[in-house]
C-alpha cells in the first residue's frame, strides 16, 4: 500500500470526519479516489467519442429536410 499526504481545508476535514465516523477512512478515501479516476477516464472517453462524431459529421454531405423528415417517419406507426 502507498501512503499519500495532502492538505485539505479544515472545514472539509471536519465534515469528512463527521460524515464517515466509525468507518475506515483510508478505505473511504481509496474508494473516492478510485471513483475520481474512473470519472476522469470516462470524461476522456466521452470527449474522444464526441470528437470522432464531429469529424464524421464534417465528412458527411448534408441532406434535405424532406429526406430527413421521411427517414424519421419511416417505420413509425
> Which DSSP string corresponds to 7-71?
---HHHHHHHHHHTTTS-HHHHHHHHHHHHHHHHHHHHHHHHHHHHHHHHHHHSPP--HHHHHHH
Output the pLDDT for position 23.
Answer: 97
- pLDDT tens for residues 12-63? 999 999 999 999 999 999 999 999 999 999 999 999 999 999 999 999 998 8
pTM over 0.85: no
Output the pLDDT for position 75.
Answer: 76
Amino acid at each position: 500500500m502507498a501512503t499519500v499526504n495532502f492538505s485539505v481545508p479544515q472545514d472539509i476535514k471536519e465534515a469528512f470526519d463527521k460524515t464517515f465516523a466509525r468507518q475506515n477512512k483510508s478505505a473511504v478515501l481509496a474508494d473516492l479516489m478510485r471513483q475520481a479516476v474512473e470519472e476522469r477516464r470516462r470524461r476522456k472517453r466521452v470527449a474522444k467519442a464526441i470528437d470522432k462524431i464531429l469529424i464524421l459529421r464534417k465528412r458527411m454531405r448534408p441532406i434535405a429536410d424532406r429526406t430527413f423528415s421521411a427517414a424519421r417517419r419511416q417505420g413509425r406507426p
